[in-house]
Every structure is written in structure tokens, then in C-alpha cells.
Chain A
């Protein structure tokens, strides 16, 4: 039988707590006993909105599900509608999409390493990585016209071509970033501060990761080798050589190392794809009405597997559009990672899944043995954590 140790994340029921928060913790002194998850704060009603917008308008809505993985969502959407039309985009467009998607992965992973550094009080790492990230944002702006939220996909291809001048700048940028990533790859495992705060923290055993359907770097940091770019290839990934990075540590440190490894792979892919751009058009025209049908589309966003389902009905608006962003796939595993760990480790474990927790998010705590209840914002929790870790 399986060796998994999870229990399904139901969490404590505490009617005394007047305002259910996103996360409700049961603790026993310094240890987390259980956690309940509730995710209402960013629900905007996006899926309903798709049904009253035409497919072109949907391109802009879908990007804004998450500003960090915007290109991934838009690519997944474009692929979905293109499949319903029964068309293939020009090969050159597939390659350009691959370049932009990997630039997005680089920006996202650098952002994440910086945020993780900030969580454990190491702001220098935050400043370094975000400064390097500006190189990627400059390249994004060059290639798509915007730093964040690029809108570079059309249904049928891409909107802008990559000129030889852009490719030359991209190549220079990648050389610079490769040096920087080598620096981080060498430095991070040596840094006792980081290792002390991340090794053995937030454990997710391989069997649990599989049973709880984790995705992305979180899954691969538990040694499971799954990546949509290889398992269900799209764009130019079927022709681009790259490795799927895994790590067996099952902890936050492994999640850091997987992302650092993926940075090297992304640089490789950007270089390969931009150097092997097929000639030809970048876009085909499609009619505004989409033939009736249904389709499932997946991409590997920086945070993991992104899946979209579309049901079309012959009109210019979808009958149903469903998005499951990668972060949601990892919330079920979150409870397992937190249970049994220290309260002081909550911020870094959360950051390892989702850097989108804003300062004002409050968490409810109940100490089962001391019989106390209180709320903490993430800021207050960070302060507790810093004091506890003796910084």
C-alpha cells in the first residue's frame, strides 16, 4: 500500500473565530497541527466573464488571471481556440512563443528566488535577483512592447516578429544572465543562512506529491519527473532540447534548487529557439466565430501545469471557459507541508508555493493546548519567524 502520510486537508473548525480567513491554523505551542484553506480573496468571477466576451477580448482577460504567468495563460488559451478552429499556427510563431514563454519563466523564477530571500530576511538576494530580472523585462519590452502583461499572442500566431536585432540583444542578455545564474547556483548551497532555513523544511514526500496532484517545481522538488513541455509538448518544445530538472530533497531547499536548474534550461531554450527560428509568416487569420466543440489545453507555466477547458458553440463567445491556474494545484499539498512543522516556518513554506500572499492577508490561529485564539497578518508572522530563528 502507499506510504503516504497525508490526511485530506479539512482543517480545524472553529466557530468562535468570527472571520474565517484564507488560512486557519491549529497549533500546539510552536508546531502546526492542522490547517484549513479558504481562497475567496482573489475570486473575481473571471470564468463567467469569458462567457460574455468574444474570443479576442478573452485574450486580454485570460492574461490577467495572474500577472506573473500571463504569457503562459494566454498561450494556453490561444492553443485552445486554435485547436477548436482546427488550425496549426505557422512554425515561426511556435518558436517565438517558446522564446517569450521561457523569458517569462526566467523572470518568474528570479522573482521567486528574490521573494524567498526576502522571506528569510535576506534582502540582498532580493535586490540582486530583481536587478537581474530587469534584464529580462527589458527584453520582454523589446520583443512584445510591455514589461509585464505582454499580450503577444493572437489567435493564430503572434503579433510581433523577432527581428535579427532583437535576437542579438536577447543573446547578449542570456549571456549576462547565465553568468548571474552560475553565481547563484554556486552561492546558494554555500550560504548557511539559506540552507538552515530551507533544508528539511516544508517536507512533501513523493507519494504525497503524487496523491495530492502537485505540479511544477514543487512536484519536481519531490523527485517526480513530470513537466508539460515534455509530457504533452506544445509550441516548439517537441524540437527543442532541454532537460526536466528534479531534486530529491522534498523540501523548500529543493524547490529553490529546481528553479535555479530550470533557469539554466530556460536560457538554453531561449538561445536554441531564437537561433533556429524557421522563416515564414507569424500569424494566420481566423474567423471570429469558433466551430462547436470542446478542447483541453495544457502548458507548463513557471509555477507548474496550467490547464484550460473550452466548450465552443459556433458563436464568437465561449459556452464555457475553465482555467485551473497552477497555484491552486499545489494548495492541497500545502497543508501536508505545514503540518508537523514549526509555526516560524509558515512564511517560507507559503512563499515556496505562492508569492502572491499580500501583507494584509491574515491567518487565524488556535493553540489547542494553551486554548488561545488570535489573528496574525503575514507581516506579524514574519516578525515572529525572524525572532524565533534568532536573526
Chain B
């Protein structure tokens, strides 16, 4: 295992992108940073720029307005990259299916590696999802 891959597994850097969600998912992601769940003890860190990220964590149903920006952000994340669709809206559109201004889920715009359903998913679900993703990383 080369050192870059080793460090990525030990400490995946995550970029959180809200693609038009209600913020229910976003506040549970932020709650995961806080003392009770503390995802940082797993080495997971939220970064401020997609260029430094390993994992693109998307919430929200992807509105038309944000479609291009999501594509651009995805392109900025260096390879190898992984995309996590967090929450029912990001997975499939959630309650906003059949609304005129949405794409029904992140995978309509960029490829998704991990789907975390829930409305919203609990903070434990991010940890669970990220750990499973690490498993995928170590196999890649």
C-alpha cells in the first residue's frame, strides 16, 4: 500500500456540498463534528475546498440552479475521488420527486459511490457511511 493511499484511509478529507436541501441533513453532518459523535477522532475532517478533498459529501436534491456548480465542484476534486449522497433527497429526490426544478438525486448529475438514506440520516450514519467508504478505498 503506497503512502498516499495509506494516509487517505487514515484520514479522509471531506468536502460538504449542499445541492438545494432543506438543511436537515446539513445540520446532522455538523452535529457529527461535535463532541458527542466527533467524526474527527476517525480522522475525518471537513475541508473548505474541493481541491483538497477525497470525498464529496452531497446533500439536497440538486436544483437546476445548482446543477452546473455541482459538476464543476466534482471536477475540482482530484482523483481518486468518492461521492457520498447523504439523505433521501440526495439519493432519489426524497419528497421533492416530480418537482419541476429538481433533478431527482445526485446520481443524475455525477456518479455516486455511497448512498446514505434517511430524512435526515442520523450522525451515526455519516460515520457508518464513511467507514464503509474507507473499506472501499482500501480495496481500490
Contact = CB atoms under 8 A, between A and B. Distances in A.
A and B touch in the complex (CB under 8 A): yes
A48 B101 CA distance: 10
A41 B66 contact: yes
B98 A52 contact: yes
Given A43-B63, A52-B98, A130-B30, A360 B24 contact: no
Contacts of B25: 67
B110 interface: no
Contacts of A356: 23
Contact of A67 (B27, B34, B36, B122): B27
Q: Size range of the interface on A?
A: 35 or more
Contact of B22 (A45, A67, A111): A67
B100 A48 contact: yes
Interface stretch (A58-66, A158-166, A208-216, A278-286): A58-66
Given A40-B63, A61-B95, A67-B23, A360 B73 contact: yes
Given A45-B100, A127-B34, A60 B28 contact: no
A147 B101 contact: no
Contacts of A45: 96, 99-102
A200 interface: no
Interface string B94-122: 11101111100000000000000001101
Contacts of A130: 30-31, 34
A149 interface: yes
Given A41-B20, A42-B20, A131 B63 contact: no
Given A67-B23, A67-B120, A359-B48, A44 B102 contact: yes
Interface string A54-84: 0000001100111110100000000000000
A43 B73 contact: no
Nearest to B50: A360
Contacts of B100: 45, 48
A41 B23 CA distance: 13
A49 B96 contact: yes
For A45, A52, A68, A358, the residue with the greatest tally of chain B CB atoms inside 10 Å of its CB is: A358
A360 B63 contact: no
Interface residues of B, number: 37
B65 A148 contact: no
A268 B100 CA distance: 43
A139 to B, nearest CB: 15
B63 A64 contact: no
Given A41-B63, A49-B98, A134-B34, A66 B23 contact: yes
B103 to A, nearest CB: 11
Given A70-B24, A149-B120, A64 B96 contact: yes
Nearest to A126: B34
Given A41-B20, A41-B66, A360-B17, A64 B28 contact: no
A261 interface: no
The prevalent SS among residues of A at the interface is loop
A109 B26 CA distance: 16
Contacts of B35: 127, 131
B18 interface: yes
A66 B60 CA distance: 12
Contacts of A41: 20, 63, 65-66
Contacts of B36: 131, 134
B92 interface: no
A134 B31 contact: yes
Nearest to A355: B23
For B24, B63, B120, the residue with the greatest tally of chain A CB atoms inside 10 Å of its CB is: B24
B138 interface: no
B69 interface: yes
B121 to A, nearest CB: 10
B99 A44 contact: yes
The list of the 5 closest CB pairs from A to B, nearest first, reads A67-B24, A358-B18, A45-B99, A40-B65, A379-B48
Interface of A: 40-46, 48-49, 52, 60-61, 64-68, 70, 111, 126-127, 130-131, 133-134, 137, 147-149, 356, 358-360, 362, 379
Interface of B: 16-18, 20-28, 30-31, 34-36, 48-49, 60-61, 63, 65-66, 69, 73, 94-96, 98-102, 119-120, 122
Given A46-B96, A133-B31, A137-B31, 9 more contacts: A41-B63, A43-B65, A45-B96, A48-B99, A64-B119, A130-B30, A131-B34, A131-B35, A362-B69
16 contacts: A41-B20, A41-B63, A42-B60, A45-B96, A52-B98, A67-B21, A67-B22, A70-B22, A130-B30, A131-B34, A131-B36, A134-B34, A134-B36, A149-B120, A359-B48, A360-B17
